């Protein structure tokens, strides 16, 4: 299954707020709660599927990519759900988004693909590159790269950079301080349900 490229508001109407996908807010849906339509019972499978879809669309992954991360998390020490979220949070495209260098994760992925980003002074064009503590993320020393990221940095003025990262906006520079902890991941998701969804596949 390929990466989703369709209408983003359609997704957040169904799954709720996904800041990595878009910051646009959908129009309020009409309230039909007073109507006498019978409530539909939601299966456990449907609940797990929805949590999996939240994770997939927020981080902009294909089905195969997410399954691969689940398999890696299962082999690591500690809680599988927490390790899974940490693996996804330490992706280069997500780090750029968290630093405020891009307004969304798809926008951050485009910056990486077009070689606007350096990691430890080395050009990286792989969005899934796994960042490590003490990695230094900078804009490439080109007018075009610096202009794009300086423009995006205005976004970070209204967005709180997580504690595991440090942003020096004047230098278009970010630093990875440590591996993110679960409390700092502001995504409304139950990662254990995602692990349960893949329990028969991973």
DSSP 8-state symbol, 22: -
> What rounded mean pLDDT belongs to the chain?
84
Phi, psi of 103 (to 5 degrees): -75, -25
Mean pLDDT for 32-37 is: 47
d(CA 53, CA 72) in angstroms, rounded, equals 19
d(CA 112, CA 177) in angstroms, rounded, equals 21
Q: What is the pLDDT of residues 40-74, one digit of tens each?
A: 677 888 989 999 999 999 899 999 999 999 999 99
pTM listed for this prediction: 0.84
Q: What is the pLDDT of residues 117-151, one digit of tens each?
A: 999 999 999 999 999 999 999 988 888 888 888 77
Domains 8-30+40-87+186-197 and 91-178 agree in fold = no
Element (H, E) at 173: strand 173-176
d(CA 139, CA 117) in angstroms, rounded, equals 5
Task: Quickly count: other Cβ atoms within 10 Å of residue 5's Cβ.
Answer: 8
The structure tokens listed for 16 are 């709720």
Pairing outcome for strands 117-119 and 136-139: antiparallel
State residue 191's pLDDT score. 92
Torsion of CA 67, 69, 73, 79, to 10 degrees: -80
Are the beta carbons of 22 and 107 closer than 8 angstroms?
no
d(CA 1, CA 143) in angstroms, rounded, equals 37
User: Which range has the worst mean pLDDT, 51-55, 150-154, 163-167?
Assistant: 150-154
The structure tokens listed for 74 are 């299962």
CATH topology of domain 91-178: 3.10.290
Q: Is the pLDDT of residue 1 over 70?
A: no
Q: How confident is the model at residue 186 (pLDDT cuts 50, 70, 90)?
A: confident
Q: Which CATH architecture has domain 8-30+40-87+186-197?
A: Orthogonal Bundle (1.10)
Q: Where are the domains of the chain?
A: 8-30+40-87+186-197, 91-178
């Amino acid at each position: 299954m390929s990466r989703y490229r369709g209408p983003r508001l359609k997704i957040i109407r169904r799954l709720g707020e996904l800041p990595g996908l878009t910051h646009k807010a959908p129009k309020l849906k009409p309230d039909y709660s007073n109507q006498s339509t019978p409530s539909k019972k939601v299966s456990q499978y449907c609940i797990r599927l929805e949590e999996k879809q939240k994770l997939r669309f927020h981080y902009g992954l294909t089905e195969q990519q997410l399954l691969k991360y689940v398999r890696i998390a299962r082999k690591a020490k500690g809680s599988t759900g927490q390790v899974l979220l940490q693996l996804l949070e330490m992706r280069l495209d997500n780090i750029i988004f968290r630093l405020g260098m891009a307004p969304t994760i798809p926008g951050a992925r485009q910056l990486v693909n077009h070689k606007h980003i350096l990691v430890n002074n080395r050009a990286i064009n792989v969005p899934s590159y796994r960042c490590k503590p003490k990695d230094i993320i900078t804009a490439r020393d080109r007018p075009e790269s610096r202009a794009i990221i300086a423009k995006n940095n205005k976004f970070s003025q209204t967005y709180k950079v997580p504690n595991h990262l440090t942003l020096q906006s004047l230098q278009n520079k970010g630093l990875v301080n440590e591996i993110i902890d679960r409390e700092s991941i502001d995504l409304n998701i139950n990662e254990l349900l995602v692990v349960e969804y893949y329990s028969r596949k991973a």
